[in-house]
Every structure is written in C-alpha cells, then in structure tokens.
C-alpha cells in the first residue's frame, strides 16, 4: 500500500511541476516575463543548464547522473528500509518528486525551466520542483532531529 501511495504522490507532484513548466513555456517564454505582484514577484522564463544558483552550468549530464542516483537511492530507502515516520516519508517523497521533475527537464530539454523570480532582492530564479526539494530537505532535517531527540529520551 505504501508503494502505491508513494508512486501516486510522486506522479501527481511531478505532473504538477511539468504542467507549471509547460504553462510557462507557452505563456511566459514568448513575452519573457509576466508580473505577478508589482515590484515583488514575477514569472520570467529562464533556461538553467546548472543546479541551484546555476552551479555546474553546462554539466547537464553530470547533474542528471547525480540526480538519478539520488532518486534511486531514496526510492530504495522508502521501499526496502522503510521510513521511521510519516514526516520522513513525506520529506523523501517531496525530494524525489522535485528531483524527478528537474531530471525530466534535463533529459528531454537539456536544461531546467525556471520561472519564479523575486523582484525585491537578488535571488535565483527557481521552479516548483525546486520548492519541493527545498521543503522536503527541511522536513527531512526536522525529522532527523525529532528522531534523535526521541532516541536520547
């Protein structure tokens, strides 16, 4: 049952990520940018050949390999070792979904479509998959600290 729920959640999140990127390609790319909140947030089409903050630009094959290995490792952990709690399970699902969403871009486009841009500060342009990975990583750290706290008690 856990496998089915996990795969459905991953499919839904990856589908949502790919839908947002499709909408950006069809609606934002032709005009370059669309204001969302004046002087705060806009959607701007960006082709990112690197990782976060364009680290390892033009190393798409390396990033694809690393991402693929991490996704397989996370799925094996989920299905074989079994997460300790629901928070850990949810965090891994989020990280896998975000990683897979960006991996699909790298494999089929040669770059990741980024589009969320803050206007009130200098920050990287990012996408929905990046949000999933970030929230998943934060939840995983919280889960580890909570588990460590219970072990010490």
**What pLDDT, in 10s, does the model give residues 23-57?**
999 999 999 899 999 999 999 999 988 766 556 66
Number of domains making up the chain = 1
pLDDT in tens, 110-120: 999 999 999 99
The catalytic residue among 38, 130, 147, 152 is 130
Which has the closest alpha carbon to 29: 47, 50, 6, 16?
47
The pLDDT assigned to 82 comes to 81
Q: Look at residue 58 and tell me whether its pLDDT is greater than 80.
A: no
Average pLDDT rounded to a whole number, residues 7-36: 97
- The mean pLDDT value for 128-146 works out to 95
More confident residue, 31 or 122: 31
Q: Please state the φ and ψ torsions of residue 33, each to the nearest 5 degrees.
A: -150, 150
- Using the predicted structure, report yes or no on whether residue 139 has a pLDDT greater than 80: yes
In the set 17, 38, 105, 114, the catalytic residue is 114
pLDDT at 130: 95
pLDDT at position 67 over 60: yes
Is residue 43 within 8 A of residue 33, CB to CB? The reply is: yes
Q: Bridge partners of 114? A: 46
Give the confidence band of 151 by pLDDT, cuts at 50, 70, 90: low
Burial class of 131 by CB neighbour count within 10 A (0 to 12, 13 to 18, 19+)? middle
- Containing structural domain, residue 106: 2-152
pLDDT band at 153; cut points 50, 70, 90:
low
The confidence score (pLDDT) of residue 26 equals 97
Q: Annotated catalytic, 130? A: yes
């Amino acid at each position: 049952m856990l496998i089915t729920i996990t795969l459905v959640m991953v499919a839904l999140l990856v589908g949502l990520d790919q839908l947002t990127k499709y909408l950006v390609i069809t609606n934002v790319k032709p005009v370059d940018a669309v204001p969302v909140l004046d002087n705060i947030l806009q959607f701007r089409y960006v082709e990112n050949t690197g990782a976060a903050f364009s680290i390892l630009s033009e190393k798409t094959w390396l990033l694809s390999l690393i991402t693929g290995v991490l996704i397989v490792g996370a799925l094996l952990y989920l299905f074989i070792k079994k997460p300790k709690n629901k928070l850990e399970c949810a965090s891994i699902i989020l990280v896998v979904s975000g990683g897979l969403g960006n991996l699909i871009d790298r494999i089929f486009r040669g770059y990741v479509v980024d589009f969320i841009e803050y206007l009130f500060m200098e920050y990287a342009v990012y996408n929905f998959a990046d949000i999933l990975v970030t929230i998943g990583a934060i939840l995983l750290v919280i889960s580890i600290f909570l588990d460590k706290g219970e072990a010490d008690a």
